[in-house]
Amino acid sequence: MSFGSDPSIMMSLLGGGFVAAFLHAALPTHWLPFTLVGRAQGWRPSRILAAVATAGLAHIVSTAVVGALIVAAGLALDHWIDGLLPHLAAVLLFLFGAFYLTRAMLRRAAPVDAPAPPAAVSDRAAFLGLIAMMAVSPGEVLLPIYLSTAPQGLAALALLTLMFALGTVAGMAVFTALASAGASLLRLERWARYEGAVLGAALILLGLVVATHQH
């Protein structure tokens, strides 16, 4: 059985991509600025959601660009060393997963005070600033999954990008909405501390899926 011919691997990677993107969006940097800026600007929920969706999509576009470069490099190596790419993908997933899992276990919990809302600026400047903030910071934890999906072809990579976009925007919207609705910011940040452990375990699981479906 070839690595790229098993639909179960494709479904695992797409599902894992959505989960990884959603969990990554639990980081306070993906929702707290929208809550604070929206509060300072006096935005309606629809305006905040528009900023979240636009910034989330910009975040995934930049991630996809970096991911395409990584896939191109991986395919070039695979051309010279036949069958390297699936093994490289599994190794990278293990390494990234172990890194985030280890960092989460070593990180000590510390009280986090919610920062004060920023001073109000023009709505246009605030909106564009939020988008720029996300656009210049690709989701590095999602990049190994691009490499894992490369053997499935361009259509699969496009589907994975769509899953990343759905998971990221959904996660950012959920946590921003909870905070904007009055949920405790401190409580959300405490929950977000587990994001690294859960994300690390998910990446390791994906690595196992990739590794066990190769010859």
Other beta carbons within 10 angstroms of residue 12's beta carbon come to 18
Q: Quick one: pLDDT at residue 18?
A: 92
d(CA 30, CA 67): 20
Residue 130 lies in a domain: no
pLDDT at position 110: 46
Identify whether 192 is part of a domain: yes
Residue 189 identity: E
Tokens 């989460």 map to which residue? 104
Domain assignment of residue 135, yes or no = no
> How far is Cα 204 from Cα 101, in angstroms, rounded to an integer?
9
A 10 A CB-CB count for 73 gives 11
pLDDT band of 182, cuts 50, 70, 90: low
The number of distinct structural domains making up the chain is 1
Beta-strand runs (E) in the chain: none
Structural domain contains residue 104: yes
Looking at mean pLDDT, say which of 26-30, 174-178, 195-199, 210-214 comes out highest. Answer: 174-178
Tell me the per-residue pLDDT of 30-72, one tens digit each, with 9 for 90 and over: 888 898 888 888 889 899 999 999 999 999 999 999 888 888 8
**For the purposes of burial, counting CB atoms within 10 Å of the CB of 91, is it exposed (0-12), middle (13-18) or buried (19 or more)?**
middle
pLDDT for residue 168:
95
Q: Please say if the pLDDT value at position 181 is more than 60.
A: yes
Determine the structural domain holding residue 25 and report its residue range: 3-113+141-212
Give the whole-number percent of the chain exceeding pLDDT 70: 66
- Within-domain flag for 122: no
Does the residue 126 lie in any domain? no
Amino acid 27: pLDDT: 79
pTM over 0.85: no
Residue 120 placed within a domain? no
Least confident of 4-8, 20-24, 49-53, 97-101: 4-8
127 within a domain of the structure (yes/no)? no
Give me the pLDDT at residue 162, please: 94
